Amino acid sequence: MRGRFSQAWSDVLRGGAFPRERQAFLEEVFSADVFRPRPDSGGWDERFALTYERLRQVNDRVREGGSGVPLVQDRERLFPLLAWSAVADPALFYAMFLHHCMTTGAVLEFGAGRDDLADVLTELAATERVGALLMTELGHGNSNASVRTVAEYDAAREEFVLRTPEPAAVKFPPAVAAEGVPRLAVVLAQLVVDGAECGEFCFLVPLRDADGPLPGVEVRPLAPTPVMPLDAAAVSFDGVRVPYRFWLRDNAVLTADGGFTDPFGSPAIRARRTLSLIRFAWEAAVVALAATAGASAAVAVRHAHRRRTGGRFAADQPVIRYRNQQRALFGALSGAYVAQLVAAATATAEAPALTPRSVRTTFLMKVVTDRIAERVSARARTASGALGFLSANRFLDYQGLAHSLNAAAADNQMLLLDGAQALLAGTAYTPPADEAPAAGSRDLLDPATWETLAAVRERTLHQELADGLRKATEGGLAPFDAWNGLYDLAERLAETHAARLVLGTVREAVREVAESDPVSGPEAAAVLRDLLALHALEQLAEHDGWYLAEGLLDADEVRGVPALLDRLCARLEPHAEELADALGVPYALVGAPIAGEDYVGELTGTA
Share of the chain above pLDDT 70, in %: 98
Q: How confident is the model at residue 21 (pLDDT cuts 50, 70, 90)?
A: confident
The answer to whether residues 235 and 207 touch, using CB atoms and an 8 Å cutoff, is yes
Tell me: pLDDT of 499 over 50: yes
At residue 146, the pLDDT reads: 81
At residue 434, the pLDDT reads: 82
Overall average pLDDT of the 481-501 stretch: 98
* Confidence (pTM): 0.96
Overall average pLDDT of the 200-210 stretch: 98
Cis before 243 (ω within 30): no
Q: How confident is the model at residue 506 (pLDDT cuts 50, 70, 90)?
A: very high
pLDDT in tens, 328-376: 999 999 999 999 999 999 999 999 999 999 999 999 999 999 999 999 9
Overall average pLDDT of the 517-533 stretch: 97
Conformational region of residue 591, where left means phi above 0, alpha means psi within -120 to 50, and beta covers everything else: left
Conformational region of residue 171, where left means phi above 0, alpha means psi within -120 to 50, and beta covers everything else: beta
At residue 1, the pLDDT reads: 46
The answer to whether residues 260 and 253 touch, using CB atoms and an 8 Å cutoff, is yes
pLDDT in tens, 167-192: 999 999 999 999 999 999 999 999 99
CA distance 107 to 109: 6
The answer to whether residues 93 and 291 touch, using CB atoms and an 8 Å cutoff, is no
CA distance 192 to 351: 34
Q: What share of the chain is helix, strand, coil (3-state, %, to 5)?
A: 60, 10, 30
CA distance 104 to 202: 12
CA distance 232 to 227: 13
Tell me: pLDDT of 313 over 80: no
Tell me: pLDDT of 35 over 70: yes
9 DSSP β-pair partners:
none
Q: Which range scores top for mean pLDDT: 287-291, 407-411, 601-605? A: 287-291
DSSP 162: E
Cα distances from 152 to residues 198, 484, 579, in angstroms, run 10, 36, 57
Q: How confident is the model at residue 442 (pLDDT cuts 50, 70, 90)?
A: confident
CA distance 533 to 299: 21
pLDDT in tens, 64-94: 877 788 999 999 999 999 999 999 999 999 9
Helix or strand or coil: residue 347? coil
Asked which of 134-138, 218-222, 435-439, 482-486 is least confident by mean pLDDT, the reply is 435-439
CA distance 232 to 388: 27
CA distance 141 to 235: 15
Mean pLDDT of the chain: 94
Residue 522 CA neighbour count, 13 Å, CB half: 2
List CB contacts of 356: < 8 A, sequence separation 6 or more. 422, 427, 428
pLDDT in tens, 469-488: 999 999 999 999 999 999 99
The answer to whether residues 350 and 75 touch, using CB atoms and an 8 Å cutoff, is yes
The answer to whether residues 43 and 33 touch, using CB atoms and an 8 Å cutoff, is no
Q: Give which of 50, 51, 105 is closest to 74, Cα–Cα.
A: 105
The answer to whether residues 368 and 317 touch, using CB atoms and an 8 Å cutoff, is no
